[in-house]
Amino acid sequence: MRTIAVDNHGVVLETGRIRFMDTAEALRENPVVQHAYLGIA
């Protein structure tokens, strides 16, 4: 989560394709991103 806190915009790539692109806050709060990419249940 520290990486997301460094900038105000983020992109999540999956197999070379953009899966999510949003503000850092929206990505942190996204339940799919939390579970699949941040390891938060």
Q: Could you tell me what percent of the chain has a pLDDT over 70?
A: 83
Name the residue range of residue 25's domain. 2-37
1 pLDDT higher than 70 = no
Buried b (16+ CB within 10 A) or exposed e, 30-39: beebeeebee
Q: How much is the mean pLDDT over the chain?
A: 86
Q: Grade residue 10 by pLDDT with cuts at 50, 70 and 90.
A: confident
- Split into its structural domains, the chain has a count of 1
Tell me the whole-structure pTM to 2 decimals. 0.72
The angle subtended at Cα 7 by Cα 35 and Cα 4, nearest 5°, is 15
Contacts 24+ apart (CB under 8 A), 32-38: 37/12, 38/1
Q: Which pLDDT does position 5 carry in this prediction?
A: 59
Q: What is the pLDDT of residues 19-35, one digit of tens each?
A: 999 998 899 899 999 99
